[in-house]
Structure 1
Amino acid sequence: MSTATLRETPAASTVTTVPRGLVRTVLRLHRGALWIWLAFVAGTTGFLLWLLGPGADTAQRALETYGYSGLIMATGSADEYSDQFYNADTLLTVASFAIALFAGGPLIARELESGTAQLAWTQSVSPARWLAVKLAVPAAFIVVGTGLLALLYHQVWSAHSNLLIAGIEPRALYFSLGPATVAAPLLGLALGTLIGLAVRRTLPALAFSGFAYFLVYAFRGNHWPFQGRYQQPELYSRSRAFTSAGAEIRDPGCYDDKACLAKHDVVRFTREYLPSSDYWPRQLLETGVLLALTAVAVALAFALLRRRAAAG
């Protein structure tokens, strides 16, 4: 019994330490990308906290001083706050593209092209385990980082949507206010990985990964029946206009047109942005579709890797 125990101990030790070694290797090889991601999350978090606090306070004081119609034509007030608010949405979109590029190029294709991956496979690391860790490590950072940013962004929206200027842009924020914000970059990671395995050359993998995610983003924005950036219902606003005499009138829709404002004697607006009644069903459905596509891409990646490994 003592002999059996001695024989089993090294094997058990090997099984438990190999994954940890793989995780350390992935973190070491891609520490530059990791620091860039952490800096992005920290910087965007600080920006959202500024929108939630000091930025909103400044815009609110200007709103109380000038009224909504005056704010639109004032410099450095709500107009600027509205622009800054949408910049956070742009940052999240760019991050998803960057993740797809990273997965296709440095994470997968570069290691296949340089032979680093093949070397790892000869050192007691199976191709399947190598790929699993390659996906799991960045996925963990993506989920934590984007989850934090989506929660903060939704908090800013809930607290200060009254400071945003009406138009098509509020509906575009559908992309960044729910769980689909976390699922979208995971799909970028899976697509980039699949393309990196298929192409196995860094520069072509970068190009194809970026193009593939661009197609997904464009299709997601304009054609999915439960999405559609310019389709109703999504996020809409409840708006009221007031004249110089204090009378409430129907919103004429001339938010930055001085002649129109003068014609209707509009001096201020009140505006509340609201999610449509099916906002969360759409969000959850889209999240499910994104995760399903991610699972398909991951399954195809493992199948392709097994075929390549079997072929030698």
Structure 2
Amino acid sequence: MSVFARTPVQEASFGGRRRLRGLAWLMVRQHRAALIACAAATLIGALWIIHERATMLDALHGAGWPAKSSEDLDGATVQRLDNSFNGFARYLGYLPLVFGVFIGAPLLSADHEHGTARLVATQSVSRLRWLAWKLGFALGLVVVTTGVLGALFGWWWRAVRHVVSSNWLDGTVFDNTLPVLMALGLFTTTLGIAIGALARRAVTAMAVTFFTSAAFLLVCDHFRTRLATPRRVAFPFEGAQPAVLNDAVQVDQWIGTASGKVYGWGTCVSDAAPEACRARLGIVNSVWDYFGYDQMATLQWTAAGLLLGGSVLLMALVVWRTRRQAL
């Protein structure tokens, strides 16, 4: 028997080693640190959410909730649980920035800087195919990680939303649940990729991406209430709020007349006789501009659509730039 003959076990071993070939093997080999980090973050984050949700619900049920309203529960217990929820949400909110800086920015810039892109181009691989694999691998990591963690965090929040202090329009909830968390992660990652394609230096691209993404995330907070038109409701001045305002988020507050004319909420407050002032103006109603809880999905999908549209434009810029510039 020839010394070069292989046993079935050896064949299976070699076959197992060669399951990943070509660009698939290159992506896993080149970005294995990012792959391992995303897998670890997804697994640990998922287990932590499941644990914290169960712990929080056990504590609330032990305190008598939901038979007791959240206002009747022990304040120290509610504060402790609220801090736990908001603390995890704060860390989860850093994910888009981390993806942009550590996955997006060095994705192409490091290859240009170290000559990997030029080496790949000398092989039997087209530039467009190499670029598609790079972008697909990076964005796939972002989608899986943010998709799993965003879905689980939303599952946690919906179970305790009547107890925690953050309303659904706060960045704590709105930006950290699906589909906004995924869309933010994709946008900051593509922003980092685009900056890296232009800068062609990894450290420079990472620094610029950090400041650009941080500024963008801060600006997003000011446009959340502009994603849809708020509703308006009027009810008797100093009277009970109507049921439609349950779980609603107030955007603005006015006072108004029976005919519908509105004044600023501070009208007559500093007057020597506030009641006489309101009677003279005919003010009989409190008027709220608000977003109802049933609008949450519309607002989130609108935000996600805008972010995904921006991501597509950035990807088009990256493809155009990479295909035209010298490697």
Which residue does 2:288 correspond to in 1?
none
Contact 1:71 1:79 in 2 (8 A): no
Contact 1:190 1:294 in 2 (8 A): yes
1:161 and 1:97 mapped to 2: Cα distance? 26
Secondary structure of the 2:221 match is helix
| 1:128-147 pair list within 5 angstroms | 128-147=128-147
Q: CA deviation at 1:88?
A: 2.9
Note the alpha carbon deviations across 1:161-220, whole angstroms, 9 max, x for none. 22313x668622111223121111111121111111100111110011112212321222
Letter paired with 2:320: A
Q: CA deviation at 1:126?
A: 2.1
1:20 and 1:297 mapped to 2: Cα distance? 29
Which residue does 2:61 correspond to in 1?
60
Query: Which entry has the higher C-alpha Rg, 1 or 2?
Result: 2
- Distance change (3 Å), C-alpha of 1:203 and 1:150: same
Q: CA deviation at 1:38?
A: 1.0
Task: Determine which structure has greater relative contact order: mean sequence separation of CA pairs < 8 Å that are 6+ residues apart, divided by chain length.
Answer: 1
Q: CA deviation at 1:226?
A: 3.3
Which residue does 2:317 correspond to in 1?
300
Q: CA deviation at 1:92?
A: 2.5
Which residue does 1:279 correspond to in 2?
296
Letter paired with 1:47: W
Secondary structure of the 2:170 match is helix
Which residue does 1:197 correspond to in 2?
197
2:295 and 2:56 mapped to 1: Cα distance? 31
- Distance change (3 Å), C-alpha of 1:107 and 1:37: same
Which residue does 1:244 correspond to in 2?
none
| 1:39-50 pair list within 5 angstroms | 39-50=40-51
| Structure with higher helix content | 1
1:281 and 1:102 mapped to 2: Cα distance? 31
Contact 2:194 2:317 in 1 (8 A): yes
Contact 1:150 1:178 in 2 (8 A): yes
| 1:110-189 pair list within 5 angstroms | 110-165=110-165, 171-172=170-171, 173-189=173-189
Q: Please provide the CA RMSD for this pair.
A: 2.9
Contact 1:62 1:78 in 2 (8 A): no
* Identity of matched residues, %: 25
- Distance change (3 Å), C-alpha of 1:129 and 1:53: same
Deviation above 6 Å: which 4+ runs of structure 1?
none
- Distance change (3 Å), C-alpha of 1:300 and 1:35: same
Note the alpha carbon deviations across 1:213-271, whole angstroms, 9 max, x for none. 1232122211356349xx977xx8659xxxxxxxxxxxxxxxxxxxxxxxxxxxxxxxx
Q: CA deviation at 1:100?
A: 0.4
- Distance change (3 Å), C-alpha of 1:128 and 1:163: same
1:68 and 1:183 mapped to 2: Cα distance? 33
Note the alpha carbon deviations across 1:129-151, whole angstroms, 9 max, x for none. 22211110122222122112222
Which residue does 1:51 correspond to in 2?
52
* Number of equivalenced pairs: 252
Q: CA deviation at 1:70?
A: 7.0
1:227 and 1:163 mapped to 2: Cα distance? 26
Contact 2:174 2:180 in 1 (8 A): no
TM-score normalised according to structure 1 size: 0.72
Note the alpha carbon deviations across 1:287-312, whole angstroms, 9 max, x for none. 11111000000000011111213xx6
- Distance change (3 Å), C-alpha of 1:142 and 1:288: same
- Distance change (3 Å), C-alpha of 1:232 and 1:36: farther
Secondary structure of the 2:190 match is helix
Letter paired with 2:216: V
Q: Which runs of 5+ in 2 are unaligned?
A: 1-17, 232-244, 249-290
Matched, 1:288 2:305: yes
Q: CA deviation at 1:275?
A: 5.5
Q: Which runs of 5+ in 1 are unaligned?
A: 1-16, 240-273
Which residue does 2:12 correspond to in 1?
none
- Distance change (3 Å), C-alpha of 1:232 and 1:35: farther
Contact 2:49 2:153 in 1 (8 A): yes
Contact 1:226 1:286 in 2 (8 A): no
Which residue does 2:22 correspond to in 1?
21
TM-score normalised according to structure 2 size: 0.69
Contact 2:187 2:310 in 1 (8 A): yes
1:170 and 1:225 mapped to 2: Cα distance? 8
